[in-house]
Structure 1
Amino acid sequence: MSDVIEQAVSALSAKMNGGFDGSVKFVIEGEGAIMVDSDGVRQGDEDAECTMTADAETFQAILEGDLNPTAAFMSGKLTVDGDMGTAMKLGTVLS
């Protein structure tokens, strides 16, 4: 597991406070993928209701609270494929 993925799994786990009602895959370009679902947060590249893709810098800024997920999406730094409602639910957790 890359350092970026390992740090992202740890940071997301701390923000989640338990499971998530849905399934989201974060694809961090050049690093790998992270799954968030009712089982928690882990490295993985499985099917999900929603896939969010960003570069490592954007993803880190979102996790640190320096970049709002909605602003990242609107500016094209974050792409969302799949169920937008699930993406928005997770976005409120990350904000």
Structure 2
Amino acid sequence: MTQPRSAPMPAALRAGRTAPHPARAIRCTHCGAAEGARCTTRSGRITKTKPCPARLTAHAIAVAVCPTCQVLPGTECRTPDGRQHDIHPARLTEAEGTAA
């Protein structure tokens, strides 16, 4: 008796699993992953989770307006007196919203 073949995975499900994170469009400053490539661990293994935090930050700076300090994409966050600030958490959230 032959075993029945399993059904192929629907394209809609397959597409959702392979969609790269938009931050992968930027080279990772932490692990050195190239544009389009996934981030790696110290031992060189490819990560299966989100990109490195440094890559997420660079992506947020590149694409999102900061809701806190109102700087435009491509400009780092600022404090009220004009000095550079790391990155406001609201900007990371804003960048995640543009990724969806």
Q: TM-score with structure 1 length normalisation?
A: 0.26
Bigger RCO of structures 1 and 2 (CA < 8 A, at least 6 apart): 1
Larger radius of gyration: 2
The structure with more strand, counted as a fraction of residues: 1
